[in-house]
Amino acid sequence: MPVYLDYNATSPMETEVLDGMLPYLRTGFGNPSSLHAFGRVAREAVHNARSQVAEAVGCQSSQVIFTSGGSEANNLFIKGAAGYLKPGTIAISSIEHPSIVKPAASLIRAGWLLRKISVDAEGLLDISDAESALSSPSSPSCMVSVMLANNETGVIQDVSKVAEITRSRGAWMHTDAVQAFGKIPLNFHSLGVHAMTISAHKICGPKGVGALIVDKRLALMPLVEGGGQESGLRSGTENVAAIVGFGVAAMRAKNRLLNYARHVECLKKKLESALQDMGAVLFSRGAPRLPNTSYFSFAGIDGGTLVIEMDRAGFAIASGSACASGATDPSETLLAMGVSPDLARGAVRVSLGAESDDSHVADFVTALKAALRRLSTMAAV
Ligand SMILES: Cc1ncc(COP(=O)(O)O)c(C=O)c1O
């Protein structure tokens, strides 16, 4: 069995999550909108899961809008807000996930001004650039989206600070917390944002379910219209079993957070000390980062080739962005940080999880040394 070290791409579903879901794929198959007993059972299950997710992220149940995942929740915020607001400035960081970048870019056709806020060499947002992005005299600020933690580098942004600036300009503030949820403490209210995206499959829940947490004073235009489920913001019969799994996974992620963070941080330190001895360039080492994520390059070694070599050796890691694996373009995030295209092309990411252990890290380091020797010999030939 290969060793899985790609938890930022997705995570294995836990037994307790599956056990929670199974009854709703069998006898509890009702439609939550039905008036009869079958409907009531399903409705209660969705209601309960909504409370669990709300408790895990520090918001009210009524603020949880279930979607098909993080990508849809990001689209719902950007396109949903644009459906109500007059065109103005939309500001996003230069290292956002494609599910923010693409809908934001699509607004240009409707007369919006898209402003990308720069990051420094460590991948941290330039707060003064954020301020200037929101001060365009010709275009009023309307929307800002800055991710809480980056999927590649793991860098954690000061989202509360950006939210403060955004609110002072009367604009709407969103954060993509897909990678932060379950890895660092997360509280919707203390972040001070208007909306926040989360996803179940990054916290050992099922794929195909996520949520937009939203301040109910915000008027959003739904992406999917129909029966009016999810407060009219996301029509369609609910994926009850997946939503139930999300609720269980959310509570488990919240309850184990401290132990999890201590565990993966300790493994990460061991890994990074070995990587440093091997001459790796470690990205964003000087910034606050997720406890489980290491992102690095070896000069002259292609990241995609190294991932394939490590796969052959029995280790699953990622090159560049996990969602764009297979792409040969250098990572946009690293380019935005000013990393040279050659070094960026070499980037590989190890993201640890609750199931990772000392032997995984030690065996990975041994296999990596062997892979680097092979690749250097091949390059020399
Ligand atoms: C930061 C970030 N946002 C959004 C997403 C998309 O989430 P989903 O896979 O649930 O659509 C991902 C997935 O990798 C992500 O890392």
Residue 71 alpha carbon to ligand 1 centre in Å = 6
Band of pLDDT at residue 325, cut at 50, 70 and 90:
very low
Instruction: Assess contact for 160 and 266: CB atoms under 8 A.
Output: no
Return the pLDDT at 324. Answer: 46
Both tokens of 99, joined, read 């599910």
pLDDT value at 19 more than 50: yes
Quick one: what percent of the chain has pLDDT higher than 70? 97
Query: Among this protein's residues, is 323 annotated catalytic?
Result: yes
pLDDT digits (tens, 9 = 90+) for 102-143: 999 999 999 999 999 999 999 999 999 999 998 877 778 799
Instruction: Assess contact for 211 and 230: CB atoms under 8 A.
Output: no
pLDDT digits (tens, 9 = 90+) for 168-179: 999 999 999 999
Q: What is the Cα–Cα distance from 84 to 66, expressed in whole angstroms?
A: 21
69 CB near ligand 1 (under 6 Å):
yes
The answer to whether the predicted template modeling score (pTM) of the entire model surpasses 0.95 is yes
Matching residue, tokens 């980062």: 289
Q: List 115's β-bridge partners, or say none.
A: 91
Q: Could you give the 3-state DSSP secondary structure of residue 115?
A: strand
Average pLDDT, the chain: 95
CA atoms within 13 A on the CB side of 196: 29
Query: Which residue of 7, 75, 97 sits with most ligand 1 atoms within 8 Å of its CB, as the best mutation to test the pocket?
Result: 97
Residue 374 alpha carbon to ligand 1 centre in Å = 34
Q: What is the Cα–Cα distance from 150 to 161, expressed in whole angstroms?
A: 17
Band of pLDDT at residue 30, cut at 50, 70 and 90:
very high
Residue 10 alpha carbon to ligand 1 centre in Å = 9
Sequence-distant (≥ 6) Cβ neighbours of residue 266 within 8 angstroms:
none
Domains detected in the chain: 3-10+257-380 (3.90.1150.10), 15-252 (3.40.640.10)
Return the pLDDT at 248. Answer: 98
pLDDT value at 282 more than 60: yes
Calculate mean pLDDT across residues 264-276. 98
Band of pLDDT at residue 381, cut at 50, 70 and 90:
low
Return the pLDDT at 143. Answer: 96
Closest atom, ligand 1, to C-alpha of 147:
1
Instruction: Assess contact for 76 and 232: CB atoms under 8 A.
Output: no
- Is beta strand 293-297 parallel, antiparallel or unpaired with respect to 348-351? antiparallel
Nearest CA, atom 4, ligand 1:
70
- Is beta strand 210-214 parallel, antiparallel or unpaired with respect to 318-319? unpaired
User: Strand locations in the chain, DSSP E?
Assistant: 3-4, 64-67, 89-93, 113-117, 141-145, 172-176, 195-199, 210-214, 281-282, 293-297, 315-316, 318-319, 348-351
